[in-house]
Copies of this chain bind each other. A is one copy, B any other.
Amino acid sequence: MSDERGDRPYLKRFLRGRRGGNIAPDDLAALEAAAQGEQTYRSRAIVVRAGSPVTNSTLLLEGFMCRYMDDRAGHRQLVAIHVPGDFVDLHGFPMGWLDHDIGTIGSVRVANWAHSALEEVLEHRPRLTRMMWFSTLLDAAMHREWVFRLGRLDAIGRVAHLLCELEVRLDMVGLAENGRYHLPLTQADLAEACGLTGVHVNRVLRSLRERELLLFRNNEVTILDKAALRALAEFDPMYLYGDPPDR
Contact = CB atoms under 8 A, between A and B. Distances in A.
Q: On chain A, which size bracket covers the interface?
A: 35 or more
Given A140-B140, A143-B140, A94 B130 contact: yes
Contacts of A234: 71-72
A4 to B, nearest CB: 22
B139 A77 contact: no
Max chain B C-beta neighbours (<10 A), residue from A51, A123, A133, A234 = A133
Interface in A133-160: 133-134, 136-137, 139-141, 143-148, 150-153
A8 B222 CA distance: 56
Interface of A: 20, 50-51, 67, 69, 71-72, 75, 77, 79-80, 91, 93-96, 99-100, 119, 122-124, 126, 129-131, 133-134, 136-137, 139-141, 143-148, 150-153, 194-195, 234, 238-239, 241
Given A51-B238, A95-B134, 18 more contacts: A71-B234, A72-B234, A77-B152, A79-B144, A79-B148, A94-B130, A94-B134, A94-B137, A95-B137, A95-B241, A123-B126, A133-B133, A133-B136, A136-B140, A140-B140, A143-B143, A150-B151, A152-B195
